[in-house]
Structure 1
Amino acid sequence: MNVFDFAMKMELDGKAYYERMAAETEVGGLKTIFTMLAADEQKHYDTVVAMKEGADGTMASTTVLEKAKNVFQELTGEKDLLGGMKKDLDGYRHAMKIEADSVRLYEDMAKKESNPDIVMLLLKIASEEKKHYNIMENLYDFVLKPEYFLAWREFSNLQEL
């Protein structure tokens, strides 16, 4: 399996995972977040397909991070939902691993690519995957320790992924 096929598989797996999480949650805000994440993974898949076929490809930036921040603000007032959300902690942690693996994959692909346009696109996808990681990390932290959840953590600290 070449690197493009592997990336395409990862994106489809991520999409399916977020669709399953959206279907399983009873929290409307989370359903929205997971649905948007699934749509982003489809967008990444389409971009990788275009690159595999030789196109430079373009991709609009995600808006899921900004929308997720608003959902978290709404959830802070609904502590009674946390009990049902805690059962999904392993799922949130697994999603973080998937996103971290995706970041590494796209950054590695960018290092091996000679076309600067493709390099920029791969790094853009990696940046979006970091945003997805950030969303899942914040969700995990929020559900695990709501009493310590102070503010949205930005994704700039994800260089070690």
Structure 2
Amino acid sequence: MDILEFAMQMEKDGKAFYEKQASGTTNPGLKKVLLSMAEEEERHYKYFKRLKEDPDDINASFTGAETISKIQNIFEQMASNPKGVQFGENELSAWKEAFKLEEKSKKLYEEQAAKEGDPKRKALFIKIAGEEQNHIYMIDGVLMYARQPESFADSAQFKNFRSLEGWGRD
């Protein structure tokens, strides 16, 4: 299977995973984060599809800075009422699973970049790995919030969340 086809399938699976988790949570903030992540996966899928049709089109960004801003705003709302957000064991397990999946994806793309001889495709894999790293940061933020909701708003991770905008796109 071609790596782009594989990546497209991974993004489809990721979207389905996030949508399923969103349908299973009663927390509006978490639901918004999950749906934002599903939108990201859809954006990535479309990007890979476009690349399959035109392999030279690797310069377009495929994580919208607006997604990071949207998730930042959701975290701000959740941090303003830390006792209002409860995580059940199923939700925590799902977020931990998502974290592992994103790490696995990132590693795959880094390995592909290391093997690739064509500089354009190598740059593509590095870019994709950077996008997966953005997802890892977002999910890690959710997990950190789940562990310490009262102190999350004061954490360096929360305060520097916007610094992720543009990460991995060079």
Q: What is the TM-score normalised by the length of structure 1? A: 0.81
Listed as ranges, the gaps of 5+ residues in structure 1 are 157-161
1:104 deviation in Å? 0.9
Structure 1 CA distance, aligned partners of 2:101 and 2:57? 23
Pick from 81, 105, 108: which aligns with 1:105? 108
> Which residue of the partner structure matches residue 167 of structure 2?
none
Report how many aligned residue pairs link the two structures.
155
* Cα deviation, residue 54, structure 1: 5.2
1:93-119 alpha-carbon deviations (Å, 9 max, x no partner): 000011101111111222222332332
- Comparing 101-110 with 90-99, greater Cα deviation is found at 101-110
Q: CA deviation at 1:152?
A: 4.9
- State the alpha-carbon separation in 2 of the partners of residues 81 and 24 from structure 1: 17
Report if the CA contact (8 A) 2:27-2:85 is conserved.
no
1:90–1:152 CA distance, 2 compared to 1 (3 A):
farther
Moved segments of 4+, more than 6 Å: none
Q: 1:136 to 1:152 in 2, by over 3 A?
A: farther
Q: Is the 8 A contact 1:57 1:121 kept in 2?
A: no
Give the Cα–Cα distance (whole angstroms) in 2 for the partners of residues 14 and 115 of structure 1.
28
The residue aligned with 2:23 is 23
What is the match of residue 7 of structure 1? 7
In structure 2, the partner of 1:80 is: 83
**Which range moved further: 105-114 or 131-140?**
105-114
- 3-state DSSP class of the match of 1:146? coil
Alpha-carbon RMSD: 2.4
Q: Hey, what's the Cα distance between the residues in 1 that align with 2:30 and 2:144?
A: 14
Q: TM-score, normalised by structure 2?
A: 0.77
